[in-house]
Amino acid sequence: SQQLSDTLLFEYQITEKVRLSGGDISESYMINDGEQRYFVKINDREFLHKFEVEAESLHLLRETSTIFVPEVVLVGKTKNNAFIILNYLPTKPLDDHENSFKFGQQLAQLHQWGEQKEFGFDTDNYLGSTLQPNQWHKKWCMFFAEQRIGWQLQLLKEKGVTLVDIDDFIDVVKQLLANHTPEPSLLHGDLWNGNVALTAFGPICFDPACYWGDRECDIAMTELFGGFQPEFYQGYESVMPLLPNYHERKD
């Protein structure tokens, strides 16, 4: 409360604290002083870096003025915990046709934003609590094979699960994607339907793990878990059509 008061430059006295459902990694709350509500995520102190890189992604996405994301108010720690505080906005599922179409358009605009010649990100970040490495690469086939597929196989190996020879499989993926040379797009990075909702201001998304990559990764993630309306994809392709052989690469 005191750290938030120092940030806001006025005394913030919490009069209401409501536990929110949804997050399975961090505890989430809505806090209220009778006038202004905030969304708070709390975890162990060791989680501070994860909140810091989440805030970095949120700041960057807000800078694009494309998809709508919560505003970061404060990231910090107490004696026992780390926390991130965001503006609180009431949400409901994004399931109507008009707003689904609009969100598809906004995502396409994000994928068109900025100019970046390489694939990666300045910092590694996290999918949930799993580290996502983002070392810069000039070629998409190299980045995806090593930083995504190879990394996941290595994590499995460390848990005692060996599916294939990792180096051989990385080479196979590189060869499969060698002729696919997309322009780097800024990605949300964890775009499943649980990270998208609807507010009074329109569609909103949260919990990003941004990096510069192939835009097809964001689209494939939406299809992996489902829950997006057909109008979402129609809206996306009205701005930025997918390549004809996208579905082959997705599979």
Helix axes 216-225, 230-239, angle to 10 degrees: 170
Active-site residue, selected from the candidate residues 24, 95, 167, 190: 190
Residue pair 33/11 in contact by the 8 Å Cβ criterion: no
First to last CA, the chain: 48
**Those residues with Cβ within 8 angstroms of residue 19's Cβ, 6 or more apart along the chain or in another chain:** 27, 28, 29
Active site residue 33: no
149/214 Cα distance (integer angstroms): 14
* Residue 230 token pair: 């057909």
Q: H-helix or E-strand containing 84?
A: strand 81-87
Closest Cα partner for 231 from 122, 96, 129, 115? 96
Question: Which residues carry out catalysis?
Answer: 190
